[in-house]
Structure 1
């Protein structure tokens, strides 16, 4: 998959993460290659950014719905995610993954951050 999006960046964010432009790409492989046809191995990359007016607002000490911790040294928030989903039994699967986030919160003074994930999915 691949997708990109943007908005004008002049309005206050609410009830969603603060992103004014984003580009994403990724894909997954079927476990059939290693005799586990219902398993999946995937990877995705994301690069999120803020508009110039949004960056200026935060750099001046402004606060958003999720952002705002003083003078912002802006950097694009770049994310790499990998995961493996294993089919366990009937409608039960488990996933493990890792996210690597550079410049979390668009701040070059933060990160990188490594987040480990574990998910359990049940269909019935």
Structure 2
């Protein structure tokens, strides 16, 4: 089972450690990606087929406004104490789930990673 219904995807990203700002254990990451649906999947959904992940389908005389899903992401991980990292992540998503009728959506997340 996949976690998404992307039929095509392209992504680019970069990461850097914090040596240049005197935090060698910290990292900064930037990424961009675009996901899309195949014409077969779009036609299936437009004809009334039901998606297991997206949930969209078109009824009679309805049109689904599909566009590629575009995501920009930035993350920062910082060493808090020995073996404990805290991370902050921000994502901006245009056309979430390939539908221009939705979004954009902004997601902020925080995590703590500890190794013992």
State TM-score, norm by structure 2: 0.90
1:50 aligns with 2:37: yes
Give secondary structure in 2 for the equivalent of 1:39: strand
Q: Which runs of 5+ in 2 are unaligned?
A: 59-63
1:102 aligns with 2:94: yes
- How far 1:69 sits from its partner (Å)? 2.7
Alignment of 1:21-60 (within 5 A): 21-60=8-47
Instruction: Decide whether the 8 Å contact of 2:51 with 2:57 is kept in 1.
Output: no
- How far 1:31 sits from its partner (Å)? 0.4
- How far 1:70 sits from its partner (Å)? 3.4
CA distance in 2, matches of 1:15, 1:79: 19
Give secondary structure in 1 for the equivalent of 2:66: coil
1:87 aligned partner: 79
1:16 aligns with 2:3: yes
- How far 1:113 sits from its partner (Å)? 0.2
Count the aligned residue pairs: 111
CA distance in 2, matches of 1:114, 1:59: 27
- How far 1:114 sits from its partner (Å)? 0.3
Q: CA RMSD in A?
A: 1.1
- How far 1:16 sits from its partner (Å)? 2.3
- How far 1:80 sits from its partner (Å)? 0.3
Tell which structure's C-alpha radius of gyration is larger.
2
Q: Which runs of 5+ in 1 are unaligned?
A: 1-13
